[in-house]
Amino acid sequence: MFTRRQFILGMLALAAATQLPRLYNFIIVDKRLEPRSGWIMMKDDK
């Protein structure tokens, strides 16, 4: 029914979809900033 490639891509898409609410939850409004592993960082922080 599915090729091995389709199955793996499907599983990856499913995993991403289930993570989506979590990622969406931590959008930072200020354009100068970005989230990095829970840290609120300036985009140009190196």
Partner 1 sequence: MIFPDVGALNSSGFSPKVGIIGSGPASISLALQLERHGIPSVIFEAGGYDYDPTVQDAYKGHVIGDPYFDLAGARLRYFGGSSGHWAGWCRPLDEIDFEPREGFRNSGWPIRKKDLDPYIKATDAILELEPLKPDEPVNQNLREIFFQFSPPVTFGQKYRKHISDSCTIGLLTYSPVTEVVPANGRIDHLLVHTREGSSQKVTLPYYCLCAGGIENSRLLLWSNLKHNAGAVPYPETLGKYWMEHPIFGAGDAVIFNRFSMSTDSHWGMKYFAPTSTYLHTHNMGNFGLRLLSGGPIKALIKDGLCVAPELFGKLLEKAGRNLHCATTLRIAWEQLPVPSNRIELDTEKDKTGMPRTKLFWKKQPEDRHTVETAIQTFGTYLATTDQGRMKVVEWIVEGRDYPADEELAGFHHMGGTRMAATPAHGIVDRNCKVFGVDNLYIGGSSVFPTGGHTNPTYSIVQLALRLGDHLAQRIVRA
Binding site for partner 1 (CB under 8 A): 21-22, 24-26, 28-30, 32-33, 35-42, 45-46
Could you give the C-alpha distances from 35 to 6, 8, 27, 30, 44, in angstroms and in order? 32, 28, 7, 11, 12
Q: What is the distance between the alpha carbons of residues 22 and 33, in angstroms, rounded to a whole number?
A: 18
CB of 9 to partner 1, least distance (A): 25
Tell me the three state secondary structure of residue 20: helix
Nearer to partner 1, 3 or 37 (CB): 37
CB of 26 to partner 1, least distance (A): 5
Nearer to partner 1, 13 or 23 (CB): 23
